[in-house]
Structure 1
Amino acid sequence: MNPKISADTVAVLRSTNPELFSRPLLQRLRTWSLWLAFLAVFGFGLWWIEASPQRIWDGLGKLGFLVRFMWPPSDGGAFWEHVYAMLQTLGMAFLGTLIAAVVALPLGFLGAKNVVPNWLFHFGLRRGFDSLRGIDSLVWALIFVSAVGLGPFAGVLAIAVSDVMVFSKLFAEAIENVERKQIEGVRAAGSNGLQTLRLGVFPQVLPVILSHVLYFYEGNVRSASILGIVGAGGIGLQLSDRIRINNWDEAAFIILMILVTVAVIDNLSRRLRMKIIQHQAQVG
């Protein structure tokens, strides 16, 4: 049973510890000021983009008009063409992710403090990772479409360049958190520096690396679908063409195909990641 607190006890607590019952005035003013600042910025943003209930209502009406054209979805007699484009998209995501992971692995070792202790080199490399991570894959796709031409090759390059710096940072952080005992055991057996990395560090970070790569592959399947819209090939190019010529029933079919494919990839990737994490926990 919970003992009841008497009114006298509450009064004593209120007099000795008033902050337990009400926040100080200065703290309340600071909280109200933050909320007012947030509302002011939010309101200014709505005014700046010219948002209004009338525009939202008109937009919903036009959206409903388009949805009527989308139903029922139709492949337009090009089902296998869409399937081939979807396979292109999956291949773009797979190759881009794989290339990024392979290139990022040595960069991750170089960026780890416990591998390269030189702080100046480490600082410069990490800042390079951070600067290039700020460029989205869509921007890289526009650049590579101009450089190498239309097609999936530009999409693969865009995904690879966009992910390599993110992978490098994640891999470096994983390498910095490895257990020292296993490394010391490998060194005690007479291994040199490269053998220590291969036998003492790499087996520890491999499950983490695989988990990151699988997770990013999920996102890259979605990204590859968008990259096709700017000319990088795949299902996105098919979708862009159908929207451009107002074939909304075919556009709806392609959108549904993308949704189903992404859902399947997400489910499979999640299962694989869970198995990797469980295996790592059992080994650990």
Structure 2
Amino acid sequence: MTTAADRIARVSRTYPALLYPDPRKLWGRRAAWVAFVLAFLWASYHLGLSPMRFWTGFTDLWIIARQMVPPTHNGFWLDYLAALLETLAIAFLGTILASLISIPLGFLGARNVVPSFAIHFGLRRVLDVVRGVDTLIWALIFVSVVGLGPFAGILAIALNDTGVLAKIYAEAVENADRKAGEGVRSAGGSGADVARLAIWPQVFPVFLSNSLYFFEANTRSATILGVVGAGGIGFFLADRIRVNAWSDVAFIILLILPTVAAIDYLSRWLRKKAIGRHDAPGARM
């Protein structure tokens, strides 16, 4: 009969570090936790994070929440609806442009398609710079370049998404099964034939799935682009907040939430269809 002492002895022989950890590693972990706590306290002090300010802000938030009830539109519901549709159009067109631009960039950035180190390295660094700038910053830049309106929002979303999608597409191309390409080459196919006949059928579902995911995310992002003048429902949202018309703010939020939820649901279903999971639209996700 195995006793508790036997089991402990067996565990200590199999996993000695579990029962008898290295003192240096133990003190290293303790030092890391102390450093983490000190960094948190230092950041909290310098940024003014305190329970009192939180409680005061929560009290003000409750006052604002009461002013949101009942939601009202004051006769502007058609304007709000048109702006919401404009937001969806900004997200859709921005995602489409980014996806189309990212396809050739993804192939150029893949080592198994373009072996040139200079092209590969240069393209990757440019994409790093593009995606390193937030969509809202690009919107501010394009508002200054092309003026106020949805065109600036479309360009901002398209540019930021291109930096991310092109990298994802390039990695998908690099991970494609090479046996199919070898078969095309053995039949006398060129590099373009390999990309078109062997790689493209493999990576297209991945491309489509990621583009749909970005459309879903861009629908949420586009709602705030109007704050900087890039069109959409964000303009009305910022304007109503600025004049403390909180009942109108609640109405706009109630328009945005179900719209984003519907896009989320539709996008998930289409992504599952794209990768071969043929669930019905009403199936549980």
**Which TM-score tier does this pair reach, normalised by the shorter chain?**
over 0.9
Structure 1: which amino acid aligns with 2:156?
A: A
Correspondent of 1:135 among 133, 136, 139 = 133
Aligned to 1:120: 118
163-172 vs 181-190, greater mean Cα deviation? 181-190
TM norm structure 2: 0.92
For 2:49, what is the secondary structure of its paired residue? coil
Q: Does 1:40 align with 2:51?
A: no
* Compared CA separation, residues 65 and 176, structure 1 to 2 (3 A): same
* Per-residue deviation, 1:191: 2.4
90-99 vs 50-59, greater mean Cα deviation? 50-59
In 1, the alpha carbon distance for the partners of 2:171 and 2:274 equals: 18
* Per-residue deviation, 1:128: 1.5
Structure 1: which amino acid aligns with 2:164?
A: V
* Compared CA separation, residues 62 and 10, structure 1 to 2 (3 A): closer
In 1, the alpha carbon distance for the partners of 2:29 and 2:96 equals: 47
In 1, the alpha carbon distance for the partners of 2:269 and 2:229 equals: 33
Correspondent of 1:263 among 261, 264, 269 = 261
For 1:74, what is the secondary structure of its paired residue? coil
In 2, the alpha carbon distance for the partners of 1:129 and 1:4 equals: 61
* Per-residue deviation, 1:202: 1.0
Correspondent of 1:69 among 43, 67, 70 = 67
* Compared CA separation, residues 186 and 241, structure 1 to 2 (3 A): same
For 2:255, what is the secondary structure of its paired residue? helix
For 1:76, what is the secondary structure of its paired residue? coil
Correspondent of 2:153 among 152, 155, 178 = 155
Correspondent of 2:212 among 211, 214, 219 = 214
In 2, the alpha carbon distance for the partners of 1:33 and 1:131 equals: 35
Unaligned runs of 5+ in 1: none
In 1, the alpha carbon distance for the partners of 2:159 and 2:11 equals: 61
> Where in structure 2 are the equivalents of 1:83-98 lying within 5 Å?
83-98=81-96
Structure 1: which amino acid aligns with 2:46?
A: W
Structure 2: which amino acid aligns with 1:7?
A: A
Structure 1: which amino acid aligns with 2:66?
A: R
Aligned to 1:4: 2
Unaligned runs of 5+ in 2: 279-285
TM norm structure 1: 0.92
Structure 2: which amino acid aligns with 1:98?
A: I
* Per-residue deviation, 1:18: 4.7
21-30 vs 54-63, greater mean Cα deviation? 21-30
* Per-residue deviation, 1:74: 1.1
Q: Which whole-Å deviations, capped at 9, do the CAs of 1:159-198 have from their partners, x for residues lacking one?
A: 0011111111000000001111211222233322222211
* Per-residue deviation, 1:121: 2.1
In 2, the alpha carbon distance for the partners of 1:91 and 1:154 equals: 13
Correspondent of 2:56 among 58, 66, 69 = 58
For 1:278, what is the secondary structure of its paired residue? coil
In 1, the alpha carbon distance for the partners of 2:146 and 2:79 equals: 24
